[in-house]
């Protein structure tokens, strides 16, 4: 499932820093502009990452350089493109009323690469700083081929949400996953898994508890 | 203790992947050409690293991508120079009889940056592939200034051995340390510490056990 670039390196599809609740939800019910994670509290899901020195959105100096920081600093390493689902890009559903919405991230999105947004409703590509958003109505395999081409030999990050990661898991296209299980139960929402053990037939796994309360699950192919 | 480059980034001095025994020794007694780690078995100290996908000396494909791999893949990230003690560079002691010895690493040393070897016996610089070795008779502070200059805004790695790391700890020059404690007792040799707790007055610490048997200690400044 891995493509070698002309230099002989392998291009991986990687899930990085994806946060889920103890009961397996990547976001809560009822995503909206005001609540991008639905009824889930983004602070509870992501405070472990925000506290690290390498958090991409960090504005003040400082931050921890312990185990959690290894994960945030790995977020951009050797990544040449991202694939995300439309629900990560936008709270809108159905056809675009207009093209005013340009994502949640302001003028400096934290991706710094081409980003491929999977949607049934395509629209023209646009750039914000060094991030370019493309809109693709494609199956996972086709989207991955496009993203690998755009990544020019580097890896591709699969950004989520949970539904999109499920589709790529079902198509057996993901090489490595880092999922941070947060110490909270959501009860409902967008589900990644019933249990992380579901993946053990196809993946090795290391489980790494952090002092901040999250438990990092690291999967790589058997 | 950190120098900001013109772009406002901070240059860190980092210890990476330094392996010690349970009782705190970085190498055994009696280093020689045949036994670079003295009576310590390098396999016991470093097999956790050699098993990872990102181990710099890996020749076959494959390897693990779990928690240990986060440490080997971080080895070169944003590193622009290394400082090492003479005993890491060579088994010789005293004045150089000649300059035939060019390190343990063959024609392709795994550093790919300038390397500053601390020694009372200077000799001319030389290059092997994209690594250049310089020989410096200098105190830690002066050596660090030279290395930071050579690193052009990137961080500096402190490569060891234990005696050299001790000198830089005593001079309070190290910003982060990653030390892998291997499941073995050596009884004697080159000592890094009596206990990792010695550093807790100056550093935060995360302790991360790996399924491979080593325990990673991650220190960053308070």
B74–A71: do the CB atoms touch at under 8 Å?
Answer: no
Q: Alpha-carbon distance B39 to B62, whole Å?
A: 30
Other CB atoms within 10 A of residue A163 CB: 17
B66–A211: do the CB atoms touch at under 8 Å?
Answer: no
Instruction: Select the residue from B14, B70, B205 to test the A interface by mutation, using most A Cβ atoms within 10 A.
Output: B70
In tens, the pLDDT along B131-177 reads 999 999 999 999 999 999 999 999 999 999 999 999 999 999 999 99
Distance from CA of A149 to the nearest CA of B (A): 22
B206 CB near a chain A CB, below 8 Å?
A: yes
- Cross-chain CB nearest to B176 (options A65, A204, A220): A65
Instruction: Select the residue from B208, B209, B217 to test the A interface by mutation, using most A Cβ atoms within 10 A.
Output: B208
At B105 the three-state DSSP class reads coil
- Cross-chain CB nearest to B70 (options A66, A74, A211): A74
**Computed from CA positions of residues A155, A161, A167, A169, in that sequence, does the dihedral angle turn out positive or negative?**
positive
Residue B31: band (very low, low, confident or very high) from pLDDT cuts 50, 70, 90: confident
In tens, the pLDDT along B177-218 reads 999 999 999 999 999 999 999 999 999 999 999 999 999 999
Other CB atoms within 10 A of residue A83 CB: 30
Residue A7: band (very low, low, confident or very high) from pLDDT cuts 50, 70, 90: very low
A58 CB near a chain B CB, below 8 Å?
A: no
CA proximity to A46, closest of A15, A25, A20, A64: A20
DSSP label at B64?
B
Distance from CA of A41 to the nearest CA of B (A): 26
Residues of chain A in contact with residue B196, where contact means CB-CB under 8 angstroms, are: none
Q: Alpha-carbon distance B26 to A155, whole Å?
A: 35
pLDDT above 80 for A1: no
Residue B4: band (very low, low, confident or very high) from pLDDT cuts 50, 70, 90: very low
Residue B1 has a pLDDT of: 34
Return the residue matching tokens 């995503």.
A31
Residues of chain B in contact with residue A53, where contact means CB-CB under 8 angstroms, are: 220
Return the residue matching tokens 């030389």.
B126
Residue A206 has a pLDDT of: 98
Q: Give the lowest-confidence range in A90-94, A142-146, A165-169, B80-84.
A: A90-94
A65–B10: do the CB atoms touch at under 8 Å?
Answer: no
Taking CA atoms, B42 is separated from A150, B70, B86, B101, B189, in Å, by 42, 21, 18, 21, 13
Percent of chain B with pLDDT over 70: 96
- Judge whether B85 and B168 are in contact, CB under 8 Å: no
DSSP label at A128?
E
- Judge whether B135 and B122 are in contact, CB under 8 Å: yes
- Domains identified in chain A and CATH numbers: 3-96+103-221 (3.40.430.10)
């Amino acid at each position: 499932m891995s493509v070698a670039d002309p230099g002989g390196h392998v291009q991986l599809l990687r899930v990085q820093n994806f946060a889920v609740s103890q009961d397996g939800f990547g976001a809560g019910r009822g995503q909206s502009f005001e609540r991008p994670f639905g009824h889930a509290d983004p602070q509870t899901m992501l405070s472990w990452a925000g506290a690290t020195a390498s958090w991409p959105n960090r504005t003040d100096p400082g931050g921890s350089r312990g185990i959690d920081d290894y994960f945030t600093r790995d977020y951009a390493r050797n990544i040449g493109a991202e694939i995300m689902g439309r629900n990560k890009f936008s709270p809108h559903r159905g056809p675009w009323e207009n093209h005013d919405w340009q994502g949640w991230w302001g003028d400096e999105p934290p991706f710094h690469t081409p980003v491929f947004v999977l949607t049934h409703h395509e629209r023209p590509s646009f750039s914000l700083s060094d991030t370019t958003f493309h809109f693709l109505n494609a199956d996972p395999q086709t989207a991955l081929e496009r993203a690998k081409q755009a990544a020019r030999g580097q890896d591709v990050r699969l950004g989520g949400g949970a539904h999109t990661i499920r589709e790529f898991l079902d198509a057996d296209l993901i090489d490595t996953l880092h999922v941070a299980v947060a110490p909270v139960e959501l009860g409902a929402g967008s589900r990644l898994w019933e249990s992380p053990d579901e993946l053990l037939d196809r993946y090795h796994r290391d489980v790494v508890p952090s002092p901040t309360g999250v438990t990092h699950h690291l999967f790589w192919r058997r």
